Amino acid sequence: MKKMTDTKRIAFLQYMLSHSLKWAVRTMLRIYENQTTDERYSGMTIHENGIGFNSYDVGKMTKYVRIYQRNEKKEEPLPLEKLYTQYEITDIFRRAPKYAAQLLKTKVRVDELDGIIRECERKKEEQLTQGSEAK
């Protein structure tokens, strides 16, 4: 079995972060947690340390995180698809992939990620095989 490279992991994460709201929101939460306390409180990038949201994204991404956090405190939280507007979902999908490399540097379990990637590759091969047999 081939060894998984960080380049492949990042490419997979970027794909998932631009297509899966669950993955994108979980990543936003992880990146938000990595910001310094003063950055989380202010909703601004104060320290240019390569950790947390960049100065362009910090306002919007912090807003989306806070929407999620408020929702989680409700007795009956809304599902993610109803929590955000279509514009916000599109915006999250546009912004989240750039944090794939930073996510990989956090406590993400690389062995689990590799397993997910291999499973996706296996399913893709099965679909291609079934498609060619159908012809």
pLDDT digit string, tens, across residues 57-88 = 988 999 999 999 999 999 999 998 999 999 99
The verdict on residue 116 lying in a domain is: no
Compute the Cα dihedral for 120, 121, 126, 129 and give only its sign.
positive
Q: Which of 3, 19, 2, 12 is nearest to 103 (CA)?
A: 12
Cβ atoms of 31 and 61 within 8 Å: the answer is yes
Cβ atoms of 57 and 32 within 8 Å: the answer is no
- Residue 91: per-residue pLDDT: 97
The verdict on residue 35 lying in a domain is: yes
Report the domain count for the chain.
1
The verdict on residue 56 lying in a domain is: yes
The verdict on residue 24 lying in a domain is: yes
Could you report the per-residue pLDDT of 84-101, keeping only the tens digit for each?
999 999 999 999 999 999
- Residue 113: per-residue pLDDT: 73
Helix boundaries (H) for the chain: 6-17, 21-34, 37-42, 58-72, 80-83, 86-95, 100-105, 110-134
Its pTM stands at: 0.76
The verdict on residue 127 lying in a domain is: no
> Which domain range does residue 12 map to?
6-107
The verdict on residue 114 lying in a domain is: no
3 state SS of 15: helix
